[in-house]
Amino acid sequence: MSDGGAVAGPDGELRCPWGLSTEDYVTYHDEEWGRPVHGDDALFERLCLEAFQSGLSWITILRRREGFRRAFAGFHIPAVAAFTDADAARLLTDEGIIRNRAKIDATLANARELAGWSAGELDALIWSYAPDPATRPVPKTIGDVPAVTDESTALAKDLKKRGIRFVGPTTAYALMQACGLVDDHLAECLVRRQLAEG
């Protein structure tokens, strides 16, 4: 039985245990999760997907990701901000995404809010909450990985104050993990080694 530490995959390399549960997760774990993401549209996509994931498993979102990209104009903020009531109605019938009215409405409202921000402002705001890596202990097991931190709580509060909906402290922390603001790959994980080597 695993103690929650890194587990060897078919290639013999050690990975975070969740990163070996499905082929989709192996690719996402190895190539995306924890690697730095920049750019307003790219971060808007992650923000939206993390909000849609709330209450669901991440694999559900991951397997619909291309459907989300098609439905939401590649998460190009000005394009989504221009969506009409007819677009919202269309999204509620789109089987390629999660058809949750509150999450769809929040995505459209967030795009309209962000469309008024300066270029790079979302990127700068989110990354301003990245903690100093030297202050963070390296997780040895999945039990060492937090679900929420002071930084994610502050980021969620700041986004809410600026009119961004459906992003609580847990969702904000998942965003920070996914976009590389923090490195929660386990101590023996091959991706942590790759990130350290640059």
How far apart, in whole angstroms, are the C-alpha atoms of residue 169 and residue 185? 20
| Level-2 CATH architecture, domain 40-128+140-179 | Orthogonal Bundle (1.10)
Query: CB of 25 within 8 A of CB of 31?
Result: no
48 labeled binding residue: no
Q: What is the pLDDT of residue 2?
A: 56
Look at residue 120 and give its three-state secondary structure.
Answer: coil
**Helices in the chain by DSSP H: which ranges?**
23-31, 40-53, 58-62, 65-71, 77-81, 85-91, 101-114, 121-127, 150-161, 169-178, 190-197
Encode 187-198: b = buried (16+ Cβ within 10 Å), e = exposed: ebbbbbeebeee
Total Cβ atoms within 10 A of residue 154: 14
Question: Is 28 assigned a catalytic role?
Answer: yes
Question: Is 129 assigned a catalytic role?
Answer: no
Question: Distance from first CA to last CA of the chain, Å, rounded?
Answer: 33
Q: What is the pLDDT of residue 1?
A: 38
Q: What pTM was estimated for this model as a whole?
A: 0.96
38 labeled binding residue: no
Annotated active-site residue in 25, 33, 50, 151: 50
Alpha carbon separation from 99 to 60, 76, 104, 154, 168 (Å, rounded): 12, 20, 7, 29, 20
Question: Is 33 assigned a catalytic role?
Answer: no
Annotated active-site residue in 25, 28, 33, 173: 28
Q: What is the pLDDT of residue 3?
A: 80
Annotated active-site residue in 18, 58, 117, 127: 58
Q: What is the pLDDT of residue 198?
A: 80
Look at residue 15 and give its three-state secondary structure.
Answer: strand
Counting as low any pLDDT under 50, the low residues of the chain are 1
